[in-house]
Amino acid sequence: MNFDFSDEQKMLREQAQRFLAARCPRNLVRQAMESEAGFDRGLWQAIAEQGWMGTAIPERHGGLGLGYLELCVIAQELGRAVAPIPFSSSVYLFAEALMLAGSEQQKARLLPELAAGRIVGTFACSEGPGPVTPRTIRAVLKAGALSGAKTAVADGMDAKFAIVLARTSDEAGEGGLTLALVPLEAPGITRHKQESLDPSRRHAQILFDEAPAEPLGAVGEGWALHARLLDRAAVLFAFEQLGGADAALDMAKDYALHRYAFGRPIGSYQAIKHKLAEMYVNNELARSNAYFAAWALAANAGDLPLAAAAARISATQAFDYAAKENLQTHGGIGFTWEMDCHLFYKRSRELGLVLGSQRSWKEKLVGQLERANAA
């Protein structure tokens, strides 16, 4: 079994690197953080022209129809560039939910718009602090109207559509939940900006008051679809995190080779060597898990839940460690706005929380391993 990318996929990676090096310099990320827009619309349109939003979307729905391996390659390069665009919310979550559970009519209506970059989409499930469980969902979908509130909705201020996890019956368990497709510019919707760890990924609280909505997927299957969606998204987020971790390691290594102290590069000192070596080991562990998860996603394998949890955990830990130690390697100057270290640190914290806590993914991994052993 070959767990490496093909020559064509590696060529796509090189093309993406060159494109992002030219169109997404680090000062662009800072400008997006300070702007009211929250992301760079010029970069968003340029990426749409490249067809990246439609990488895994079928050609009949306006996409490129390539596949998930190619999307993983692009996700990794976007992570390396710390791209200030709502790509993950729109592609990893919104588009995936549509392709997973949407009707042909819903797909035909929205996927071409997304692939062309004309809309931004998002996914909303959290209603407060703590983990998302069936009992924490209080938003209600009834007779085509949605009422309730969602918080910490990634890119929620810019999205035109959201897929919302809502309650459709009084049943307290999983069977009472359904996914709903909601146009966010319709009446009955109020949005409030929320501060986020990464200002280039704006969050929002969204209030629904009898807002028009339609079911996405079968009524009562919302929780099961939510779990499947998170597995698929976790793989794509893992590649974005891996790209960021690789970039942080490269930054730390370059600085350690060129920064001199007491007449020697600081990289020649044992404390820095060990720090860089640990970053490299963590990144390679995350890479092996991410590659296996990419295969499971592309093949729709039964191992996908296990592979996704392993990739999610290892990539989150690798990016978190690399971002922190990159900052420490740079020393006092690493804490300043002028250095790029904080861009990766903020993004690592943001991506580490967007799909739920590490604890919830570790519990899922243990559960999957127990099932595999029992089988």
Residues of the chain with CATH 1.20.140.10: 223-374
Q: What is the pLDDT of residue 180?
A: 97
**Fold of the domain spanning 122-219:** Butyryl-CoA Dehydrogenase, subunit A; domain 2 (2.40.110)
Phi-psi region of 185 (alpha: psi -120 to 50; beta: other; left: phi over 0): alpha
Express each pLDDT in 175-231 by its tens digit: 899 999 999 999 999 999 998 889 888 899 999 999 999 999 999 999 999 999 999
Q: Averaged over 349-353, what is the pLDDT?
A: 94
Query: What confidence tier does 1 reach under pLDDT thresholds 50, 70, 90?
Result: low
* The two structure tokens encoding residue 360: 């919830």
Determine whether domain 223-374 maps to CATH 3.30.160.60.
no
Q: What is the pLDDT of residue 196?
A: 87
With a pLDDT cut of 90, the percent of the chain lying above it is 86
The C-alpha angle with vertex 61 and arms to 57 and 62, in degrees rounded to 5, equals 80
Report the amino acid identity of residue 119.
I
Express each pLDDT in 319-334 by its tens digit: 999 999 999 999 989 9
- Kindly state the helix (H) or strand (E) to which residue 153 belongs, with its residue range: strand 145-154
Reported CATH class of domain 7-119: mainly alpha
Q: Judge residue 71's burial from the number of C-beta atoms within 10 Å of its C-beta, 0-12 exposed, 13-18 middle, 19 or more buried.
A: buried
Closest C-alpha to 124, from 181, 175, 45: 181
Express each pLDDT in 253-280 by its tens digit: 999 999 998 989 999 999 999 999 999 9
Residue 154 has pLDDT above 90, yes or no: yes
Express each pLDDT in 290-320 by its tens digit: 999 999 999 999 999 999 999 999 999 999 9
Sign of CA dihedral 372, 356, 13, 254: negative
Beta bridge partners of 167: 140, 177
DSSP states along 259-297: -EETTEEGGGSHHHHHHHHHHHHHHHHHHHHHHHHHHHH
Query: What confidence tier does 240 reach under pLDDT thresholds 50, 70, 90?
Result: very high
Residues of the chain with CATH 1.10.540.10: 7-119
Q: Averaged over 23-38, what is the pLDDT?
A: 87
Residues of the chain with CATH 2.40.110.10: 122-219
Q: Do the Cβ atoms of 82 and 247 come closer than 8 Å?
A: yes
CA 40 to chain centre: 17
Residues near 146 by Cβ (< 8 Å), separated by ≥ 6?
Answer: 139, 140, 164, 166, 180, 182, 208, 210, 211, 212, 213
Residue 274 to residue 279: CA distance in whole angstroms? 9
Residues near 264 by Cβ (< 8 Å), separated by ≥ 6?
Answer: none
Q: Between the CA atoms of 207, 96, 49 and 295, what dihedral angle is there, to the nearest 10 degrees?
A: 150
Express each pLDDT in 84-126 by its tens digit: 999 999 999 999 999 999 999 999 999 999 999 999 999 999 9
Task: Please list the alpha-helical segments (H only) found in the chain.
Answer: 7-23, 26-34, 41-50, 68-81, 87, 96-101, 104-115, 222-258, 270-299, 304-330, 341-353, 358-374
Q: What is the pLDDT of residue 172?
A: 73
Mean of per-residue pLDDT scores for the chain: 94
